[in-house]
Structure 1
Amino acid sequence: MLNISDNNKHAMAHLDRYKTITGLKTRPHYKILNRIITVVSLIALVTLFLPWTQNISGKGAVTTLKPNQRPQSIQSVISGRIEKWYVQEGDFVKKGDTILFISEIKEDYMDPNLVENTKNQLDAKSHALDSYNSKYGALANQIVSIQTEKGLKLVQAKNKLKQAQFKIKSDSIDLVAVKTQLKIANTQFNRAVQLNSEGLKALTDVEEKRLKQQEVEAKIITQENKLLTTKNEYINAQVELNRIEAEYSEKVAKAESDQFTARSNQFDTEAQVNKLKNQYANYSIRNGMYYIKAAQNGYINRALQAGIGETIKEGTPIATIMPSDYDVAVETFVNPLDLPLISTGDKVRIWFDGWPTIVFSGWPDMSYGTFGGKIVAVEKFISDNGKFRVLIAPDVDEDPWPKQLSMGSGAQTIALLNTVPVWFELWRTMNGFPPDYYEAPTKSSKSKEKK
């Protein structure tokens, strides 16, 4: 009924005459309830204006800050057969401790004296290289000696050539003198013949002049033969000079050819020596790889290969080791929507699985059992779970993290953002806005607006 008419007002007014109705109006617990509602309303109203710290929550696990401090597997660089284990799961090993011994399975390396034989080959080739170096030096000295001898021979041949030249000149002068004597002898003979015909000279004088003329003619023939012989000697000296030049040039060319051959063999031997050095170093290093050693101090978590006589390939994980010295950190993941709101250096509150914790996300100071951290790295590429990975390190200004933390244990994080009133956070949540969507104006911005 809408009670539009005034007919029922009179009926209600007549109810006040009943004591029961009057008693209900004056009962004291209604006053207490009103007071409680008033106090609760005031408390709720005050609570709306209390400061609230916006945050971004995430789940992750305990890890290490540096990659080399995380659990890692020990692998074999070479293939082989397991012969002996020196550790068991849970053992603590130091850097360089032997974990496993394997034997060779490749036929190219089964010779037990492989390294020694390679060393002997290397020594032999090194001696051969020294021999080629000595041969090259000896040939160089031989070339110098040939060049020196060639110079002396050429000087000697040139001297003979000059002697032949001088002798030709001398014989030519002698020939001219003989010819002059012949003219004189002819003149004297003709004069003697004429004087004899006039009766002034005896026939004996004429015969003497004829004899002398014949002697001079014989001298001319002898002198001409001598001049021709000298010219032949000059030609022979020139031929000898050319022969010496050709002979010693051939000797030098042959010595240089032998020298180049020695140099070529030297380079070839040097290449073989370097190759043998490489093989010797590889074989020596491979011998040291039969003993698989720990790369750092840590604990053997699990043996991935079991048994004696089992064959493994190169790169096969054999065991896992957890380093004993590490810088603890937390690896957490945030939604892509919250990624722009966090950056390196932001403070984070963390609580670990297995530690008693009471958390008030909006009031971190009232939380119990949480530990402080700082963001040190934010991944730039999304992970397989559709979130972005964030790495958190301990905050040096906060209490230290528990030493009993184990790698891989769970952790939950709250990244602290701006502090806003509770009513603002409720309004943001109801409207579906992300944290820090609206920023309160700072004092500097207000002063700029006034100006």
Structure 2
Amino acid sequence: MPFAEHPNPETHPDAQRFTAFARVRTPQAGRILARWAGGLGLLVLAAGFLPWTQNIRSTGKLTTLRPQDRPQTVPSTIGGRIKTWRVQEGQLVRKGDTLAEIVEIKEKYFDPQLLVRTREQLEAKINGLRENAAKTRALGGQQDALRLGLAASLNKARNKVRQADLKVRSDRAELVAAQADFAIARRQLERQEFLYKQGLKSLTELEQRRLKFQESTAKLQAVENKLAASGQESLSARIELESLDADYADKLAKSESDRRSATGYQFSTEGEIAKMRNELANLSIRAGFYFITAPQTGYVVRALKQGEGEIVKEGEDLITLMPANPRLAAELYVKPMDVPLLRVGRRVRLQFDGWPALVFTGWPGSSFGTFGGVVQVIDNIDSQGQYRLLVTHEPGTEAWPAPLRVGSGVYGWALLDDVPIWYELWRQINGFPPNYVGDATAYPAGQPAKGGKVVKADKKSSYGNEE
């Protein structure tokens, strides 16, 4: 058969006789390489359609979810001198256990019986207040007695004035009668003198008439003097009545002044008693601050003051305490551009420092040594250009390692949408962000997602590509 018609000229029987065939023949190694390259190409092409889980990578450290579970310092509420230590570093203490004891350094509180003496001063003040209250009541009774005495004296003085007025009236009537007698006696005397001059009356009768006239004149003068005296008595009674008001008003004013002074002293004493009670309460509370106690159960991490006899200031830290059973959380930081892709309840895979792990970020189910987490908190403000996440253990997954300690490093991958590998490579080359996944993948804290899988959202990416 001619060479041109043979299906494979290299296998033609006459091909071995010509050297040209050997020079143009494809090398055996090249064919093998081509086959492998073709197979690898097909494998890479097929791998491009494998699912890839988009994720947001972040780093951080372990902390606690609750603020009360984080390491804290125990301060000294008051200033003093360390008398003795009751614990050592690394020791487990219960809530209320005594950590250290301090003594006073202020001379105001040196007296060991200060509480007793302050209480005695308070009791003395209270007794003084009680006596002052009795004095106030006595002054009030004195004022009532003065008012009653004033009313009685006024009635008596008014009666005296009325008696004086009646006497004046009586003396005035007596004066009118005396004046009438004097006028009659004078006319009779004049007639007697006229008749004596006519010789009709004797000198004896005239002298008798003159004597009666003198008696009438004396009586008139006595009655006038008596009326004047009665008028003076009436005036004196009225003056006494008026002075009685002024006298009792002065006594009442003085009594009222004493009562108000006692009342003012009472109010002042009540203020001092309240102040002393406050001071006594402060001293009682201060006495409890001589013993520094553990605010919660935990481990003594470090003593910030050394030795005994060292002076500590008010509010100065003495001991660092780590709570015994903290609820751990991973503190991760992400870029601002990744925050819109995260929600509370988003699943996260975590790798802890010191814990062996084999991580395939795109295939979280194939990774080894990683642990499940769920986003619990997303900060509303940035921290040095990044946003903080708090990730807690995901219910229903493997428990976090017991040896973990607060402050250990942690790496996290927040799981997003499942996409083909070719799409992820195309997104990375173009610098596009991961696909936005709605709340379908998020679930309330403490509630695992249905089936533990990420539910894809039928939405467009941020660049308008159909998912």
**TM class, shorter-chain normalised?**
0.7 to 0.9
Report what 1:54 is aligned to.
Answer: 54
**How does the TM-score come out when normalised to structure 1?**
0.83
Aligned partners of 2:417 and 2:437 also within 8 Å? no
Aligned partners of 2:341 and 2:437 also within 8 Å? no
Report what 1:268 is aligned to.
Answer: 268
- 1:215-364 paired onto structure 2 within 5 Å: 215-364=215-364
Q: Partners of 1:404 and 1:21 in 2: how far apart?
A: 70
Q: Partners of 1:365 and 1:63 in 2: how far apart?
A: 26
Report what 2:173 is aligned to.
Answer: 173
Give the 3-state SS of the residue equivalent to 1:420 in structure 2: strand
Q: Partners of 2:241 and 2:15 in 1: how far apart?
A: 164
Instruction: Compute the displacement of 1:34 (Å).
Output: 5.3
Q: Partners of 1:21 and 1:133 in 2: how far apart?
A: 136
Instruction: Compute the displacement of 1:430 (Å).
Output: 0.9
Report what 2:390 is aligned to.
Answer: 391
Q: Partners of 2:30 and 2:460 in 1: how far apart?
A: 54
Report what 1:430 is aligned to.
Answer: 429
Instruction: Compute the displacement of 1:145 (Å).
Output: 2.0
Which stretch of structure 1 is more off in the superposition, 281-290 or 207-216? 207-216
Instruction: Compute the displacement of 1:105 (Å).
Output: 2.2
Q: Partners of 2:276 and 2:111 in 1: how far apart?
A: 16
Aligned partners of 2:82 and 2:100 also within 8 Å? yes
Report what 2:111 is aligned to.
Answer: 111
Report what 2:101 is aligned to.
Answer: 101
Which stretch of structure 1 is more off in the superposition, 70-79 or 280-289? 280-289
Give the 3-state SS of the residue equivalent to 1:236 in structure 2: helix
Instruction: Compute the displacement of 1:148 (Å).
Output: 2.2
Q: Which runs of 5+ in 2 are unaligned?
A: 1-13, 439-455, 462-467
- For residue 371 of structure 1, what is the amino acid of its counterpart? F
Report what 1:146 is aligned to.
Answer: 146
The two structures, once aligned, show a CA RMSD in angstroms of 3.4
Report what 1:7 is aligned to.
Answer: none
Instruction: Compute the displacement of 1:97 (Å).
Output: 0.9
Report what 1:69 is aligned to.
Answer: 69
Q: Partners of 1:167 and 1:50 in 2: how far apart?
A: 140
Instruction: Compute the displacement of 1:397 (Å).
Output: 5.3
The Cα offsets for residues 160-203 of structure 1, whole Å up to 9 and x where unpaired, read as: 22222222222222222332333444455556667777888887
Report what 1:413 is aligned to.
Answer: 412
Instruction: Compute the displacement of 1:24 (Å).
Output: 4.8
Aligned partners of 2:341 and 2:436 also within 8 Å? no
Aligned partners of 2:79 and 2:105 also within 8 Å? yes
**How does the TM-score come out when normalised to structure 2?**
0.80
Report what 1:10 is aligned to.
Answer: none
The Cα offsets for residues 86-116 of structure 1, whole Å up to 9 and x where unpaired, read as: 1122222111111111222222222222222
Give the 3-state SS of the residue equivalent to 1:274 in structure 2: helix
The total of aligned residue pairs comes to: 430
- 1:362-401 paired onto structure 2 within 5 Å: 362-383=362-383, 386-396=385-395, 398-401=397-400
Q: Partners of 2:364 and 2:266 in 1: how far apart?
A: 79
Report what 2:7 is aligned to.
Answer: none
User: In structure 2, do the counterparts of structure 1 residues 38 and 102 end up closer, same or farther at CA, with 3 Å as the change threshold?
Assistant: same
Instruction: Compute the displacement of 1:399 (Å).
Output: 4.5
The Cα offsets for residues 121-144 of structure 1, whole Å up to 9 and x where unpaired, read as: 222222222233222222222222
User: In structure 2, do the counterparts of structure 1 residues 436 and 444 end up closer, same or farther at CA, with 3 Å as the change threshold?
Assistant: closer
Instruction: Compute the displacement of 1:247 (Å).
Output: 1.5
Instruction: Compute the displacement of 1:404 (Å).
Output: 4.0
Give the 3-state SS of the residue equivalent to 1:338 in structure 2: helix
User: In structure 2, do the counterparts of structure 1 residues 293 and 168 end up closer, same or farther at CA, with 3 Å as the change threshold?
Assistant: same
Percent sequence identity is 43
- For residue 306 of structure 1, what is the amino acid of its counterpart? Q
Aligned partners of 2:15 and 2:21 also within 8 Å? no
Q: Partners of 2:35 and 2:170 in 1: how far apart?
A: 161
